Amino acid sequence: MNDIISSLKENINVRLKNPLLGAFVFAWVSLHIKGFGIFILVDTQEKIAMLRKKEWLLFDDVFLPFLLSIIFLIFLPLVNLLYDKFEGGWIVPKRLKILRAKTIAEVRAERSYVKEFEYENLSTLANSKRKLELSTADLSDIVEEIKDNCTKADEERVIKLLSATHEIKSAVTELSSSAKNLEK
């Protein structure tokens, strides 16, 4: 008995793997879901009675499920192909275009930020250079004034002051040349 049941189950599984038969069974069950649900839930004696009372109609039990199964097998794959074509041909390129535009905007914003940052640094550097040049000129004038009015005892301090002033002037000159190179 178990061999017969397992053979029957295997036969049903093989037949239901056939797309046309599987779609037909699915369509028939979908159309008769209420009766099928009751049939599954009742005991065996009532199932036998239900099957004896069932009146099989050609249109409701054969043609309509067959028509639905053909729609399942032909129309749904066509809809799926159309969706794939729609997504691959219109949605994906549009998403890529939006992503590309977003990336370009981010790069441009970053470039403008870097340019502004460099410009601010260059302008700060130029302003500092001007202030330093003016301060160096003032310091040179003061050192010359002190040099003219100094005594022999202060001469050593004046020489140190002159050498410090000379170092500051050379640093300002070096800063000016590097600032000119940066501005280019």
- Note whether 42 and 50 are within 8 A (CB): yes
Reduce the secondary structure of 83-98 to three states and give it as a string. HHHHHHHHHHHHHHHH
pLDDT the model gives residue 103 = 92
pLDDT the model gives residue 87 = 80
Cα 66 to Cα 39: distance, rounded to the nearest angstrom? 22
Classify residue 18 by its DSSP letter. Answer: S
Residue 180 tokens, joined: 């000119």
pLDDT tens, N- to C-terminus, the chain (184 residues): 678 788 878 877 776 677 777 788 888 888 887 887 877 788 888 888 877 888 878 788 888 898 888 888 888 888 888 888 888 777 888 888 899 999 999 998 888 888 888 777 777 777 777 787 787 777 777 777 777 777 766 777 777 777 877 788 777 777 777 666 655 5
pTM for this structure?
Answer: 0.39
Other CB atoms closer than 10 Å to residue 80's CB: what's the count? Answer: 10
pLDDT the model gives residue 100 = 93
pLDDT the model gives residue 184 = 57
Cα 23 to Cα 18: distance, rounded to the nearest angstrom? 8
Q: What is the end-to-end Cα distance of the chain in Å, rounded? A: 97
3-class DSSP state of 7: helix
pLDDT the model gives residue 102 = 93
The residues spanned by each domain of the chain are 55-183
Phi, psi of 32 (to 5 degrees): -115, 40
